[in-house]
Structure 1
Amino acid sequence: MTVGWASWLVCANCAGRVSDGRCAVCRDRLARMRRESGPLTGPMMLFALVLALFAVALVVARPA
C-alpha cells in the first residue's frame, strides 16, 4: 500500500517513483511517510473538514 501522494514522488537518487522503493533512499522515505501519517489522513481528514464546515455554517445561521 502506498501512502497517498507518495506514488507521485520521484526519488532524486534513483529517478524512480518513491512508492516503488528501488533504492535505500526511496525505502527510507516511504517508511518515514508511513510512520508520520497520523489518524487524520485520507478519508478522516475529509470527514473532519466537512464537520468543521458544518459547525461554522451552524454558527453563522444561528439567529441573533
Structure 2
Amino acid sequence: MTYDRLVCANCAAPVNEGRCPVCRASRERLQQQQSGFMAGVSPVALIALLVVLIALTAILAHQGV
C-alpha cells in the first residue's frame, strides 16, 4: 500500500503531507515497508518468475535429472 492516498484519522489531512505526529509516524513506517526486500518488484513480474520456475521444474522432471 502506498501512503499517497491515505488520510490521517487524527488530522484528516493526507498522510504524505505529514502535518501531525501521527501522519509523520505513519509515513515513516510505510516508507520503511516499501524499501524492504523485493519492494520494487511488481506482482506481474513475480507471477512470471513463478511460471518460469514451474516450467523449469517440469522440464527437469521430464528429463529425469
Unaligned runs of 5+ in 1: none
Unaligned runs of 5+ in 2: none
Where do residues 15-54 of structure 1 align in structure 2 (5 Å cutoff)? Answer: 15-37=12-34, 38-43=36-41, 47=45, 49=46, 50-54=48-52
User: What is the TM-score when the length of structure 2 is the normalising length?
Assistant: 0.65
The percent of aligned pairs where both chains have the same amino acid is: 36
Higher relative contact order (CA 8 A, sep 6+): 1
RMSD of aligned alpha carbons: 2.3
Judged with a 3 Å threshold, the aligned counterparts in structure 2 of structure 1 residues 46 and 21 are, in CA distance, closer, same or farther, namely farther
Q: How many residue pairs are counted as aligned between the two chains?
A: 59
Rg larger for? 2
Q: Which runs of 4+ in 1 moved over 6 A?
A: none
